[in-house]
Amino acid sequence: MTGIPLVAVSSDQTSKKSGRLPSRTKFTWALGSLGDNYAGNTIGQLKDPVYTVALGVPPELVGWALSLPRLLDAFFDPIVGHWSDNWRGRWGRRRPFIFVGAVALGLTMTFLWLPPSGGRWSHEALAAYFLGTTMLFYAAYSIFLVPYRALGLELTSDYHERTRLQGWGMMVGLVGGLGLPWLYKLTLVIGGAGVGGVAVSADAILVGARWVGGGVGVLILLTCLVPALACRERITTGGGTKIPLRSALAATGRNRPFLHMLSMNFFATVGMYSPVTVAVLVSIYFLFQGDQNAAADLTGYLGMAQMLGSLAGVPVNTAISVHLGKRGAALVALVIGAAGFVSLAWTLVPSHPYWAVASNVLIGWGMQGVWLMSATMNADVCDSDELATGQRREGMYGAVFALEQKIAFAVAAILGGYLVTRCGYVTSAAPLPSTLLELRTTLIVTPLVGLGFAAAAIAFYPLSRARVDAIQAALAERRAKR
């Protein structure tokens, strides 16, 4: 099979001898991660306060409205990846898609938080509005995210520099994302109900969410445009043979290292994000006896604790990867994350609600290691795929990776709604003590089950540093014979 030829890397993009990227390249690519962070997490921060609390939509309907568009991405993500891998144009394979996706993301983020209010629509109609806007949003997300991640996979071929580049992305995304946990509180403040003693009304939440959603849309637009405008692509396409979409998907699904990495990411994501709504209810009704303002404050601090733990974890997890390899670093990260969730049994205390901050530092540290190792493993996977197929297909692997994450979040959203119902929670009513106990237990146990499955999946990941070096040597020899 004829492969897509590689183009020599210019000296300002990366060093041929060391494989190191200049800081400017890392930073301009990493700015897209800031927008990605807000695109991927704002809905999770605001959907329950806006649609469940303010508008009274049952959590099951909100869960389905959030998850169905992500399931539809099962058809769209690989198509975008295939288009990007085979795109021919003067601006490269990735940058045109990143540009269009950034613009569409900024617009659709704004429309998510403009639902009709005042009791004019039924709960089912409001859920349908949320469904329609999320479908448009996640289509735009695919157009941006798949080529953006593919660009990050192909900027360097160095084993450890790939981890450092992904670390840059996570550092920039996390530092800029320190405001994410405060979106709920900011919504209340802008709506006029964010101070002690002021009752929180549905109108206050809705008004605040419109302004916050619009501001986040502008932020996403500006930061996601930067890699499209400032990054130079390392790999371009020549006249190589294209693989049909069905064959490309089949080849991707046969890559064993990729399947191990995907399984780890899937189980960790489902385990961690399924009880998000459970956590909101535990904070409001168990820790603060129904005080939404106090719960919003704690939500902000807990989110910051997770992000600070993640920030501290970037250099540590990178160093662990250098010494133990990527599989070893992933297992260590899973253990640290599990320790954080176990500690919630002692830190979720109404008399000292801020003790939970310590648990969230550990959770953030551990989960950052999972995301970092997943991203950098994917770059090595693309080398193993080129050896097997003769093609550079970062777009397809980025697409399937993004697809897996969206499916995992969809499963988490559906499961999360049913977890709340199973615990006995009824909307518009304060939960009983037995329900609060069920909610707290679910918040701790569900992530531990997911992280356990994730550890079992990654324990047999086969791409060590020595194996990747051997693959790259074989690829270099093949290219030299062309």
93 in a structural domain: yes
pLDDT tops 50 at residue 2: no
444 in a structural domain: yes
Q: How many independent structural domains does the chain possess?
A: 1
The answer to which of 174-178, 267-271, 286-290, 418-422 has the lowest mean pLDDT is 174-178
17 in a structural domain: no
CB burial class (10 A; 0-12, 13-18, 19+) of residue 18? Answer: exposed
120 in a structural domain: yes
pLDDT tops 70 at residue 337: yes
Cα separation, 146 vs 390, in Å, equals: 21
Query: Which residue is it, tokens 């991660």?
Result: 33
* Per-range mean pLDDT, top range of 56-70, 117-131, 256-270: 256-270
Over residues 439-451, the mean pLDDT reads: 93
| Tokens representing residue 480 in the block | 């030299």
478 in a structural domain: no
Cα separation, 254 vs 366, in Å, equals: 29
| pLDDT computed for residue 478 by the predictor | 81
User: pLDDT by residue (tens digit) across 181-226?
Assistant: 788 888 888 887 755 555 667 788 888 889 999 999 999 999 999 9
| pLDDT computed for residue 409 by the predictor | 81
| pLDDT computed for residue 5 by the predictor | 36
Q: What residues contact 3, with CB distance under 8 A and at least 6 apart?
A: 240, 386, 389, 390, 391, 392, 478
Percent of the chain with pLDDT over 90: 30
Percent of the chain with pLDDT over 70: 91
| pLDDT computed for residue 100 by the predictor | 94
Query: Which residue is it, tokens 């006249």?
Result: 239
CA distances from 98 to 101, 115, 135, 168, 224 (A): 5, 28, 18, 19, 7
Over residues 246-255, the mean pLDDT reads: 76
The angle, 0 to 180 degrees and rounded to 10, between the axes of the packed helices 23-47 and 159-176 is 50
| pLDDT computed for residue 428 by the predictor | 66
12 in a structural domain: no
User: pLDDT by residue (tens digit) across 368-397?
Assistant: 899 889 988 988 888 888 888 777 788 788
Cα separation, 442 vs 274, in Å, equals: 10
Over residues 223-245, the mean pLDDT reads: 71
CATH number, residue 185 = 1.20.1250.20
| Tokens representing residue 44 in the block | 């999770």
Q: What residues contact 178, with CB distance under 8 A and at least 6 apart?
A: 304, 307, 308
Model confidence at 4, in pLDDT bands (50, 70, 90)? very low
* DSSP H helices in 48-94: 59-86
- Quickly list DSSP for 426-460: -TTSPPPHHHHHHHHHHHHHHHHHHHHHHHHHHTT
59 in a structural domain: yes
The residue segments making up the domain with residue 312 are 29-233+243-471
pLDDT tops 90 at residue 262: yes
- Measured over the CA atoms of residue 431, residue 434, residue 438 and residue 444, the dihedral's sign is positive
319 in a structural domain: yes
Q: What residues contact 62, with CB distance under 8 A and at least 6 apart?
A: 47, 48, 51, 52, 127, 130, 413, 417
Say how far residue 367 (Cα) sits from the centre of its chain.
11
Return the closest-CA partner of residue 135 out of 158, 108, 114.
Answer: 108
> What's this model's pTM, rounded to 2 decimal places?
0.71
* Average pLDDT of the chain, as a whole number: 84
Model confidence at 242, in pLDDT bands (50, 70, 90)? low
